Amino acid sequence: MVKIKVVEGDITKVKVDAIINAANTTLMGGGGVDGAIHRAAGPALYAACERFGGCPTGEARITSGFNLPASYIIHTPGPVWRGGQHGEDQLLANSYRNSLELADQNGCRTVAFPSISTGVYSFPLDRAAKIAIRTIRKFSQTARQVDEVTMVCFDPTTARAYQAAL
């Protein structure tokens, strides 16, 4: 069974096998956690991401962690909230599941996620937290390598939402 924990902090400082980047579909950096990860990892990350030519919403791509304490960065574009009638829930679940599967395939035991899509993409926080925790629990039934997932929350409000979902 995968251990799930919730902490408040800065995902760029977490020492785990893989951190998840709530990327945009270009993978070229942006605002929020995506921009912070790109800045902390250094310019080599941009070049590594460029090779992918983007990534569809809900899918995931993996790079080295470069200057981060994490060995890998797994990039996943979460969905932009458009009212909930455009497959947003499934796309968000796909982001979590595909990221975890990629971590598992690459021998990662410890994984840290930010709250995907709840910043500038406006996904409702409580709804996103429930989807994230449900998806991680379902994945844990088939996980081969991953044994610990940490939700790294940027602020107390986000941390409370994930604690409640847990």
Looking at residue 81, the DSSP 8-state letter turns out to be: P
How confident is the model at residue 95, as a pLDDT?
98
Percent share of the chain, pLDDT over 90 = 98
Query: What CATH number does residue 111 fall under?
Result: 3.40.220.10
pLDDT digits (tens, 9 = 90+) for 10-46: 999 999 999 999 999 999 998 899 999 999 999 999 9
Residue type, 39: R
Count of structural domains, the chain: 1
Q: Is the dihedral of CA 78, 117, 103, 98 positive or negative?
A: negative
The whole-chain average pLDDT of the chain stands at: 97
Active site residue 34: yes
The residue-averaged pLDDT of 92-112 equals: 98
How confident is the model at residue 1, as a pLDDT?
85
How confident is the model at residue 33, as a pLDDT?
93
Domain span including residue 34: 3-165
Q: At what angle do helices 32-41 and 43-50 cross, to 10 degrees?
A: 110
The reported pTM is: 0.97
Determine which one of 10, 17, 34, 104 is catalytic: 34
